[in-house]
Chain A
Amino acid sequence: MIEIELIPLIILVPLLWASLAFIAGPAHGWKLALGGSTLQLVLAWRLAAEVGGGADRVHVPGGWEAPLGIALSADGLAAVMLLLAQGVALPLAFYARAYFARHPEGAHTFWPLTGFLLAAMNALFLSADIFNLYVTLELVGLAAVGLVASGGAGSVAAALRYLLATLLGSGSYLLGVALLYGAYGTVTLPELASQVTEASPPVAMLAAGLMLAGMAVKTALFPFHFWLPPAHGGAPSPVSALLSALVIKASFYLAARLWLALFLPLATPSWGQVIGVLGAAAIFWGSFMALRQARLKMLIAYSTVAQVGYLFLFFPLATHTEPAAAQSALQGVTLQALAHGLAKAAMFAAAGAVILSTGHDRIMQLGGITAHMPVTVFTLAIAGVSLMGLPPSAGFLAKWLLIDSAIVSGQWWWIVVMIAGGLLTAAYVFKVLRHAFLRAEQSEVYKPLPRLVEWPGFLLAVASLALGLRAAELLNVLGTP
């Protein structure tokens, strides 16, 4: 068969269906979305197979080799993230179709915005050019803000706050790019990687700080999380799912990539520790706030703040530690990103189902929900297991690998953080689940829902579970840092 270029296609396909969906309008947009995301999943799958099978893949737009041109490259990490993005997007497309059929607010711009969002994230995962990465960052940011804004009058303030935060982040990143370009005359990652060394001028250090800080803001790392809960908690549920599952992962991915590919020579272990402390603070503060929430979607949003903290434990665990520790850290964090992506999408989908059925998401009034929407309850339960990091789930595997990394690198304090964080997670997950066992108050009315509202979320939750039982291939694709 003919060799097709997977890398550009996985970016072009969503761009195409997004623009067509813009013309077609909401009535037909979903068909394009379903077709498009199915095709993307296939492409991502094949790309992962190729990367897992052998060397990284590179594509050079215009045939202009870097540093003159822009290079696109897919390594293991990129391939896995692409897989996650498409894998979450497809079930959510089905879900969104069913959701907006019941609850049209925000439907009229959802499909094109989602298409551009996916294109932007795929482009981000694949880009090896720090200025092109800036453009993709802005694409992701604007698409996400647009999606939040589609939540209607209630979420305008949240959207604007989110927009300003994300612009601050990308602005800081851009200054970093400007400094690096000024210092080295190129914006190509491999080129820069070969030139950034311990002996680099102070500019490099400053650029590193600016770019990482920018990513921290965009990923809502404590204390830059202020914008996340209102944005994720207030948006329409399909949007919340996309944002919590994928968008924050994009900026985290970039932070990790820059760290591994570029700034590791500059970084001292103490840098890693500082970032790790912020991550720990995020875990505790996010969980604590989640426990205090009365509304399901806000609880889930704060849970995202906490889970982001786990991702950033990657930095202390992978900065100048033994190769084995760094390896476990990379594998653990990647699995954590996947587990959280799938589980969190499932939870927001379930929350949306609850809202469609009861018209509210007040946790205290979910008594007897099991009798009416068992699938949704199981979705929340299974996703919860993955968040808590209990077997059998991808979350458990992730936690295992992270703890292993902490032990191998002799940083026991992060174990304490992870263990305590897991227990806090259990506390807020069961704060919701206990209502599944409470006696029903007759006052609550549950409208019956079409299957497509409940099952996509369930599927995602099960996926986060199944990944905990079979991750060998995935880690093989991921390879070594």
Chain B
Amino acid sequence: MTWNDALPLLVLSSSLLPGFIIFNLPEERRGMRTALNLAGAGLKLVFIAFMLWGVARGERYEFRYAIVPGLELVLRADALAMLFVTLSAALWFLTTLYAIGYLEGSPHRSRFFGFFSLCVTATVGVAMAGNLFSFFFFYELLTLSTYPLVVHRGKASTMKAGNIYLAYTLAGGAVLLTGVVWLYGLLGRVEFVPGGSVSVLGPAYADQLRLVFGLLVAGVGVKAALVPLHGWLPKAMVAPAPVSALLHAVAVVKAGAFGIVRIVYEVYGADFTHGLGLSAPLAVLAGITILWGSLRALFQDDLKRRLAYSTVSQVSYIVLGVALVGPIGTIGGLVHLVHQGIMKITLFFCAGNYAETLGIHKVSEMNGAGRRMPLTTLAFSVGALGMMSAPFTAGYVSKHYLTEGAAVAGAPWAEWVLLASSVLNAAYFLPILYRAWFKRQEDAWPEESIPRRGWLETNGLLLAPPLVSAVAVLAAGSLSEHPWSPLSWAKLIAERQYVSVER
């Protein structure tokens, strides 16, 4: 096994092994646990940086292992994988810091961080999966490793939410499995290759392939929270803030969206999908989800629930980008995979800060929060403006390319959907900012648990992550033309997709 074969495995184990050790750590070994967490997260970043550099140079990193003849676990670091791997690894590092501060002194921390590491391992696996079987393998692992995080608090309400979460995700997984096995039955093996591989089956299979596509998209659509499969997401808000951050910015919903990207581009192939007449319905579904999510968000008073519905809406930007045939739409969708991640995690970090520091859970309680917690609120504002796709934010870039893509694909309705969504985003974010910055605080905070210390408005470990990610949001927006920016990377991928199709 050469170094290049081993690297993907190392990326995986850099969170897997710490996870196993952490499970067996006694509760009080805080220092050891923290060290393991950060070491794992840091090491993963190092490996990934190395691979990014290599992939850009055209190196191939691939690990293959046959469970039984014909069923292979494949971890491959292609450009698309790197996009998602980098995002999840970077945000995992931030979230780990945040979680250490957040869970200060709460029970069952070893269990939490154990599953936390497993969850990231699964996410990285989903990202680097080199064929459909491996994708499903890690996709289900993700379900199993996130359930304990969702129900971590162990209250009756959490358990109920946990059951709903399981019902949705396991059912989705079952549907996905059917589609996957079916495709394996037809093709023998389903590797992820730019331009897709199912086109080799003649037109005789068109109907079967449409059905399979339906199964696959329905399967991953549950995690991607496509309407009407989104019901679990707002419920899952009972989870601790770092979990919401990770689940909704990175791990779960992204795994779903990423799955759709893989299926459309690297299993079916963009043009073949279009040829089967599947892209239009997918685009419509995405459009509906975008609007429905934004509309529901409008009426949520609970801050985290409002953010959750916003996620429902925003994740479908990615799906829309994928469904709009053409390189530009693709770029928009892929880059939003990253941008939505950093923006939404910022928002969840901040929501967590309000809750932890002042006990604020509702929008209606936010009056004057900006004066008490200026830095947090600043980060929150950046994230929110990004969601509204204001200039100089990451959101602007994605929105720009998506709208372009819609125009090129000749889907003006999509442009309207995006515009409407931006307006709705403004409608549900601006009031929050207004309350936080300009309204005066009427009565005492619901539950002020962390006092202000100098300029430090809350626990430093809680404050740093959102600030960093907020800076990232601005950077991604203003430096989008930089060769290492997500945008450039997305362009690289899009090229490969469509070049290979023309071939």
Contact = CB atoms under 8 A, between A and B. Distances in A.
Asked whether A and B interact, the reply is yes
Interface of A: 331, 370, 385, 388, 390-392, 396-397, 399-400, 403-404, 407-408, 415, 419, 422-423, 426, 430, 434, 437-439, 468-472, 475
21 contacts: A388-B170, A392-B137, A397-B67, A400-B177, A403-B178, A404-B184, A407-B181, A419-B175, A422-B170, A423-B174, A426-B170, A430-B163, A434-B162, A434-B163, A437-B148, A437-B154, A437-B158, A468-B67, A471-B68, A472-B68, A472-B69
B141 interface: yes
B140 interface: yes
B181 A403 contact: yes
Nearest to B185: A407
B174 A397 contact: no
Nearest to A385: B144
Given A385-B144, A392-B141, A439-B155, A469 B174 contact: no
Q: Closest 9 CB pairs between A and B? A: A407-B185, A419-B174, A391-B137, A403-B181, A437-B154, A437-B151, A439-B154, A390-B140, A471-B68
Contacts of B166: 426, 430
B44 interface: no
Contacts of A388: 170
B171 interface: yes
Contacts of A385: 144
Contacts of A437: 148, 151-152, 154, 158-159, 162
A468 B141 CA distance: 13
Nearest to B173: A390
Contacts of A396: 140
Contacts of A403: 177-178, 181
Contacts of A468: 67
Contacts of B69: 472, 475
Contacts of A415: 178
Nearest to A416: B178
Judged by DSSP, the binding face of B is: helix
Contacts of A469: 67
Interface string B67-93: 111010000000000000000000000
Contacts of B163: 430, 434
B67 A472 contact: yes
A332 to B, nearest CB: 11
B182 interface: yes
B12 to A, nearest CB: 13
B319 to A, nearest CB: 25
Contact of A407 (B66, B71, B182): B182
B380 interface: no
Contacts of B152: 437
Contacts of B178: 403, 415, 419
Contacts of B140: 390-391, 396
Q: Which of A392, A399, A468 has the largest count of B CB atoms less than 10 A from its CB?
A: A392
B174 A422 contact: yes
Contact of A419 (B136, B143, B177): B177
Contacts of B68: 331, 397, 471-472, 475
Given A370-B111, A392-B141, A426-B170, A471 B67 contact: yes
Contacts of B71: 397, 400
A434 B174 contact: no
Contacts of B136: 391
Contact of A434 (B111, B159, B184): B159
Contacts, number: 73
Contacts of A470: 67
Contact of B159 (A419, A422, A438): A438
Interface in B262-295: none
Nearest to A403: B181
A379 B487 CA distance: 46
A468 B68 CA distance: 9
Contacts of B170: 388, 422-423, 426
A472 B171 CA distance: 29
A426 B162 CA distance: 13
B185 A408 contact: yes
A434 to B, nearest CB: 6
Q: Which of A370, A426, A468, A475 has the largest count of B CB atoms less than 10 A from its CB?
A: A426
Contacts of B143: 390
B183 to A, nearest CB: 10
B439 to A, nearest CB: 38
A472 B72 CA distance: 11
A391 B185 contact: no
Nearest to B148: A437
A468 B65 CA distance: 13
Contacts of B154: 437-439
Nearest to A391: B137
Contact of A391 (B141, B162, B174): B141
Given A472-B66, A472-B67, A404 B174 contact: no
Interface string B122-141: 00000000000000110011
A327 to B, nearest CB: 11
A434 B144 CA distance: 12
A356 B222 CA distance: 42
A222 B102 CA distance: 52
Contacts of B111: 370
Nearest to A331: B68
B185 A423 contact: no
A400 B137 CA distance: 11
A397 B70 CA distance: 12
Given A390-B140, A391-B141, A404-B181, A434 B151 contact: yes
B43 to A, nearest CB: 23
Contacts of A472: 66-69
Nearest to A431: B163
B230 to A, nearest CB: 20
Given A422-B174, A472-B66, A475-B68, 13 more contacts: A370-B111, A390-B140, A390-B144, A391-B136, A392-B141, A396-B140, A400-B177, A400-B181, A419-B175, A422-B170, A426-B166, A430-B163, A434-B159
Q: Which of B162, B163, B173, B177 has the largest count of A CB atoms less than 10 A from its CB?
A: B177
A390 B177 CA distance: 10
Contacts of A392: 137, 141
A14 to B, nearest CB: 31
A439 to B, nearest CB: 5
A426 B167 CA distance: 9
Contacts of B108: 370
A396 B176 CA distance: 14
A434 B162 CA distance: 9
A24 B1 CA distance: 54
A391 B141 CA distance: 7
A404 to B, nearest CB: 5
A400 B144 CA distance: 18
Contacts of B184: 404
